[in-house]
Structure 1
Amino acid sequence: MEDILNVDFEWFDPQPEIDFHGLKTLMRQLFDVDNQLFDLSALADLILSQPLLGSTVKCDGNESDPYAFLTILNLQTHKDKPVIQELTKYLTSKSSNSSLSQLPELLSPTSSAQVGLILTERFINVPSEVSPGMYKCLLEEIQWALEEKEPYEFSHYLVASKVYTEVESKLDQEDDRPTKKKRKDGAASELFYFHPEDEVLHKHAIGHHTYDYTKQGDEGASDSKRAFSEMGVKPQGHMILIEAAKFKAAVEAVESYLQPST
């Protein structure tokens, strides 16, 4: 007999006095081994400087740490901030030779494009059904911000995410254990999504791209992430670029796909 734990999730605006450390923890998870390339404290401060945009999901009231978050940053407006320069340089370098070949031009300092960088992450035991609510809130908040003449008239949305592939376990190799899954030589690795909504966003995107992290883990790193797989797990970075005109339809599609069953 399986035990079922009912948990009530609540949505909140980001709280500068409360959420700093929680956001940093979630961003470390989002950027994985490359998180050390960025000033996450500065990034958390920037996110918290716009508390009326974006949301957190909590289980124990507003004073508790977030289990999930979603926010958006205008890369053009904040282009002079060092942490945004770090992020922009990083994302530009990772988009080369991909379907996102136009991204470097969009993110160049002289570009007139208004690219909104969406950062979103949740702990692994948080259900994906929290995602539609965060995206829906974002749409409403952007509309309210525009009515107040705030700089959120985006031309494009860039979603920073992560995916993973399964790789043969080093532990299994060392112990000569039989594994249930064996990939044929030369076969392409299947891509799995930490955020299932990414597959829906792909259908509305200009393009998307998966890339290797700059700071690769050691050989045993994939086995440390075996909590939900018999195989070793190799995380990779992922980006999705969506034109502003198609973003609302993309959010509605995510909501339809991940609609909680009643």
Structure 2
Amino acid sequence: MVKKRVRDPEVLADAPPAQVEGDDSGSDDDVDMVNVEFEWFNFKPDVDFHGLKSLLRQLLDVDSQLFDLSALADLILSQATLGSTVKVDGEDTDAYAFLTILNLHEHREKKVVKDLAQYIAEKSKSSEALAALSSVLASPASQVGLVLAERMINVPSEVAPPMYAMLIDEIEAAVEDKEPYEFTHYLILSKTYNEIESALDQEEAPRTKKSKSQGGKKGRETMRCCSAMRWLRGPSIRGRFQELGIKAQGSLMLIETSRFEGAVKAIGEYLSPPQ
């Protein structure tokens, strides 16, 4: 049986408050900002199932129909001492964000893990950057930790670094307890949002063409995290975001264990507020 590891409450209490954008029903300048105190918790199986399942559906988007999300949520909740939820109104409420890790080798016989591994292998075939992933997944010597993370769209990205830092500590504690979390690689599955020319801007092009050519942004700006590979998931995503000038994509990043802690540190530095 997995031991329960409780985080130090003093560490969590020091997490800084963040501002969350509210509903914007007016102009660009009419945005409600709400100060929110975020709290980090272990997964709570009797509370988190439905909220976690919703966030998994958001993470996988149109591809979520390819997987048994209930089975995936149950698997995540079965290792409640690894990973975090972020909440606002206490432990017994739905999560605003989550982060966890699954050992793809340890759970390789579970159908939902087989489906995820096959899905990832298929996606990686289209990218030279992840050409080695299929062999890594197939090797008996490989212990790949699949990192799954998602947050509600209006939750600031600053909640991520503490979750990753706590994950490193939890993995170290799990390895000390002889649990199967001694990974050779970390594979991060996430979603990215890239800025593109919006459909609305294109409709207004005849009236604004000159000003856009002088002051418009060139290229695409990654709005969340960089990755080794991205892919567009489906037409519903294009229809939902393109008119706002946003392109949503799936993302995969493979990191060797020796580089994972440095990558987490880099995420924290990148997302830290300016001094």
Q: Give the TM-score band, short-chain normalised.
A: 0.7 to 0.9
The alpha-carbon deviation at position 190 of structure 1 amounts to: 1.8
Structure number having the greater helix percentage:
2
Gaps of 5+ in 1: 203-207
Partner of 1:153: 182
Partner of 1:107: 137
CA pair 17-236 structure 1, distance change in 2 beyond 3 A: same
Letter in 1 for 2:269: S
Identity %, equivalent residues: 50
Partner of 2:205: 178
Within a 5 Å distance, the mapping from 1:1-262 to structure 2 comes to: 3-98=32-127, 99-108=129-138, 110-166=139-195, 176-178=203-205, 190=220, 192-193=222-223, 196=224, 198-199=225-226, 208-213=228-233, 216-218=234-236, 221-225=237-241, 230-231=244-245, 233-260=246-273
Structure showing greater relative contact order (alpha-carbon pairs closer than 8 Å, 6 or more residues apart) = 1
CA distance in 2, matches of 1:92, 1:58: 33
SS of 1:162's partner is strand
1:7-60: CA deviation from partner (whole Å, max 9, x where unpaired): 000000001000001111111111111011111000000000000000000000
Q: How many residues are treated as equivalent by the alignment?
A: 238
SS of 2:61's partner is helix
CA distance in 1, matches of 2:221, 2:70: 31
CA distance in 2, matches of 1:2, 1:75: 43
CA pair 260-13 structure 1, distance change in 2 beyond 3 A: farther
TM-score (norm 2): 0.79
SS of 2:205's partner is coil
Partner of 2:23: none
The alpha-carbon deviation at position 261 of structure 1 amounts to: 5.9
The alpha-carbon deviation at position 254 of structure 1 amounts to: 1.5
Contact preservation (8 Å) 2:187, 2:252: yes
CA pair 79-127 structure 1, distance change in 2 beyond 3 A: same
CA pair 255-164 structure 1, distance change in 2 beyond 3 A: closer
Partner of 1:205: none
CA distance in 2, matches of 1:168, 1:248: 36
Contact preservation (8 Å) 1:105, 1:111: no
CA distance in 2, matches of 1:2, 1:90: 39
1:115-166: CA deviation from partner (whole Å, max 9, x where unpaired): 0000000011111110000000000000000110000000000000112345
Query: Aligned-residue CA RMSD in angstroms?
Result: 2.4
Q: Report which of the two structures shows the higher radius of gyration computed on alpha carbons.
A: 2
Contact preservation (8 Å) 2:59, 2:191: yes
TM-score (norm 1): 0.82
SS of 2:40's partner is strand
Gaps of 5+ in 2: 1-29
Letter in 2 for 1:238: S
The alpha-carbon deviation at position 240 of structure 1 amounts to: 0.5
Contact preservation (8 Å) 1:11, 1:55: yes
Letter in 2 for 1:74: N
Letter in 1 for 2:241: K
Could you list the structure 1 runs, at least 4 aligned residues long, displaced by more than 3 angstroms after superposition: 1-4, 164-173, 176-183
SS of 1:161's partner is strand
